Structure 1
Amino acid sequence: MSVPPPPEPIAGARLLFSLDPATSHLNHGSFGAVPIVAQRAQQRLRDEMESDPLRFFVQGLADRIAHTRRHLAEFLGADPDGTALAPNATTGVAVVLQTLGLRAGDEVVTTDHGYGAVTLSVQRECGRTGVTHRVLRVPLAATDEEILQIVRSGLRPGRTRLLVVDQVTSATARLFPVAAIVGIAREQGVPVLVDAAHAPGMLSASVRSIGADFWVGNLHKWGYAPRGTAVLVVSPAWRDRIEPLVVSWEQESGFPGRLEWQGTADYTAWLSAPAGLYTLRSLGVDRVRAHNAALAAYGQRVVGDALAVPPVELLDPGGPTVAMRIVPLPAGLATTIDAARALQARIAERLAVQVAVMTFDGHGLLRLCGQVYNSPDEYERLAVRLPTLLAQR
């Protein structure tokens, strides 16, 4: 099967970022890349903060945070009154777990595609409370209908206190049918937390249309915001029960203020997040989404062909704007987290290419991302050089 042509590049997009041109940055999904305009906006805010810290924190900061919150919520299709800013999605997950009031006899259900730090957070909370953590096994190539059946049969009404499911999985780059999953869970009276770390900026589905009890998403990945910018969206029934991980002077103000205010935290990342969205909108949101997904698909096929991966194993994530793809690695490679990290470091050092190397169900996976600052030749160069490196075990 021939490799599909790459998308047309977006002229000038590479110049909007300050990335080192000596390295191919094919792993946008891990830490993102902040456009220069957002970097400068944040630096101006830092300069303002340092010129008069008391004035910055005391005079009008709450209003500025609220304005940013409304701006981001509108972009995500979320209720501003049910949205709180947070440092990252994992923090939002920890807040939700603390809020539930879990007790012995309860259970939290996740899938084996879940993000590692979220899984660790669930395990820690379950260990503290005597709650059972059950993991639903979802085959790598499962269809949406198969995923829904696994979820339907995996919930236990009366015992399952929370279902955690990814919108786009980190390790396997799969788009899960989260709205349908939420519908199934609601029928059984099970609250759902959607880990949407990769959704803001990448996907078009609004938070309202998903209807989850809790939804967490990072803006510092595909939304071009400075790092440390995320949101937790909470349905009306849960808002009064949400408690921050650390109590602050805004404790009595309720949600979202009690969650957002942490005294002397650096709020400049949040306040400059709209500048990142400005860059995305200037390029054209739909145009960027389509370009990135097509470029990731091109990279997957080019690298997959170089590693002699059968086309049937080069999985489609199931969504037209999913800008991450996986390539199975040869047997015996990256079968553990430590081995995956070591291989990722070798690729970066030897080939000057930043990629994500994952392990799933004992198999190594190479995760490639597509972004406006990438070009087809970066994947082509990786395809030429990677087989030799992998052969040098």
Structure 2
Amino acid sequence: MDVSPPEPIPGARLLFSHDAAVAHLNHGAFGMVPVAVQRAQQRVREEMESNPHRFFAVGLEERVAHVRRHLAGFVGADPEGAALVENASTGTSIVLGSLDLVAEDEIVTTDHGYGAVDLAVAATCRRTGAVHRVARVPLEADDAAITAAVLEATTARTRLVIVDHITAATARLIPVQRIVEAVRERWGDQAAVLVDAAHVPGILDPDVSALGADYWVGNLHKWAFAPRGTALLAVAPARRNRIRPLVLSWSAEAGFPASLEWVASHDYTPWLAAPTGLFVLRTLGIETVRRHNVALAEYGQRAVAAAIGAELPPATGLPMTLIPLPPGVAGDPEAAVALRRRISDDLAAEVGLTAWRGRGYLRLSAQIYNRPEDYHRLAAGLPALIERRATSR
């Protein structure tokens, strides 16, 4: 089916300082900070360097609290039950470090989870003797099947369930509301749920308080135009007094959220500039940006899938799309990294590549600075690259 790309948002490409000679098709990895946000952060940095003692000692706590309230409002979280942290992985490690696990307690994740989270869970299990159980969820599973698979992996020993709202590896939307309700119905308070919403702010309209998860963590620096190092960890009221900071500093006894936010000479400039990112997003029109990005991601997916003869996966309504690579191509993590670097070097295109269940998948993102020709470039050069990789094994 011939589908036309969306009309570009006027002037959107000029809002960024990226290298225009490169097709940046992996926004979901590190985001892209608008120039206005870069300048806002630089102004704060200059303020800090002009008098570091005054910057840290006078009024900074109130400024950070103001930012927290602003960002919490954006995702529907209680500002008194949320803390600014560096990223979703940091928030996850804080949660894991705050649990009093003992031998044979269980942590449940899915096989769509983020690799760094799996590493943190493995380290926690080694330290405590807990057991990591993984729910295997087919790529094509519907909401009911996903919920059933997660629930089936839980037992009376389950103490934490970690689920992605939008999966990084497979660009899937997970029914986290249903999973939270199902786990709560079966296990009550004995099994907490952590929603890894790393990609959610800016893509979806979460209502964190209504979700009812014990823990929720989302990055603002991916799709909400904040500087990198800006994320929010929200904690349910009953669990806030159990949160332990990863680093003990002068606010260690102040309790949540101050004990997490005040860590010595932390760089607070990304957090203080983050509201400017939301201002840019709202000025453009949040729904306008979302519609554009989803439509362009689906257009790019079709173009690249057709070029390599790949079956088109079902549409997800997300600005990240997945394309299966031919069997034997990038089927393990090392091969996926090698192909991603070759695409970067030879095609001047930055993409996401993952090996999942022994199959290589290309993940493409779309943001308002992208154009159809970015995907055309990848589509034109990728078949030959794949052929060379396949014949060189």
Using the size of structure 2 for normalisation, the TM-score is 0.97
Q: 138, 160, 163: which is aligned to 2:161?
A: 163
Secondary structure, counterpart of 2:385 in structure 1: helix
- Alpha-carbon contact 1:179-1:209 (below 8 Å) kept: no
Using the size of structure 1 for normalisation, the TM-score is 0.97
Partner of 2:376: 380
Partner of 1:67: 66
Partner of 1:109: 108
| Alpha-carbon distance between aligned partners in 1 of 2:2 and 2:127, rounded to the nearest angstrom | 50
- Alpha-carbon contact 2:347-2:377 (below 8 Å) kept: no
Partner of 1:250: 251
Secondary structure, counterpart of 2:263 in structure 1: coil
Q: State which drifts further: 143-152 or 13-22.
A: 143-152
Task: Tell me if 1:263 matches 2:261.
Answer: no
| Alpha-carbon distance between aligned partners in 1 of 2:200 and 2:264, rounded to the nearest angstrom | 29
- The runs of 5 or more residues in structure 1 that have no matched partner are none
Partner of 2:286: 285
What CA RMSD, in Å, does the superposition of the two structures yield over aligned residues? 0.9
Partner of 1:4: 3
Partner of 1:99: 98
Q: 356, 371, 374: which is aligned to 2:352?
A: 356
Aligned-pair distance for 1:275?
Answer: 0.6
Secondary structure, counterpart of 1:272 in structure 2: helix
Partner of 1:337: 333
Letter in 2 for 1:63: E
| Alpha-carbon distance between aligned partners in 1 of 2:177 and 2:209, rounded to the nearest angstrom | 10
Task: Tell me if 1:21 matches 2:59.
Answer: no
Q: Kindly, what percent of the aligned residue pairs are identical?
A: 56
TM alignment of 1:307-318, pairs within 5 A? 307-311=308-312, 314-317=313-316
- Alpha-carbon contact 2:311-2:324 (below 8 Å) kept: no
Aligned-pair distance for 1:310?
Answer: 2.3
Structure 1, residues 343-375: CA drift from partner, whole Å, max 9, x if none? 111000000000011110110000000100001
Letter in 1 for 2:361: L
| Alpha-carbon distance between aligned partners in 1 of 2:256 and 2:17, rounded to the nearest angstrom | 37
- Alpha-carbon contact 1:38-1:226 (below 8 Å) kept: yes
Aligned-pair distance for 1:4?
Answer: 2.3
Partner of 1:178: 176
| Alpha-carbon distance between aligned partners in 2 of 1:171 and 1:112, rounded to the nearest angstrom | 9
- Alpha-carbon contact 1:3-1:298 (below 8 Å) kept: no
Letter in 2 for 1:272: A
Secondary structure, counterpart of 1:358 in structure 2: strand
Moved over 3 A (4+): none
| Alpha-carbon distance between aligned partners in 2 of 1:365 and 1:315, rounded to the nearest angstrom | 14
Letter in 2 for 1:89: A
Aligned-pair distance for 1:206?
Answer: 1.7
- Alpha-carbon contact 1:315-1:326 (below 8 Å) kept: no
| Alpha-carbon distance between aligned partners in 2 of 1:135 and 1:150, rounded to the nearest angstrom | 10
| Alpha-carbon distance between aligned partners in 2 of 1:266 and 1:205, rounded to the nearest angstrom | 27
| Alpha-carbon distance between aligned partners in 1 of 2:136 and 2:124, rounded to the nearest angstrom | 21
Aligned-pair distance for 1:331?
Answer: 1.1
- Alpha-carbon contact 1:299-1:379 (below 8 Å) kept: yes
| Alpha-carbon distance between aligned partners in 1 of 2:314 and 2:116, rounded to the nearest angstrom | 25
Letter in 2 for 1:252: E
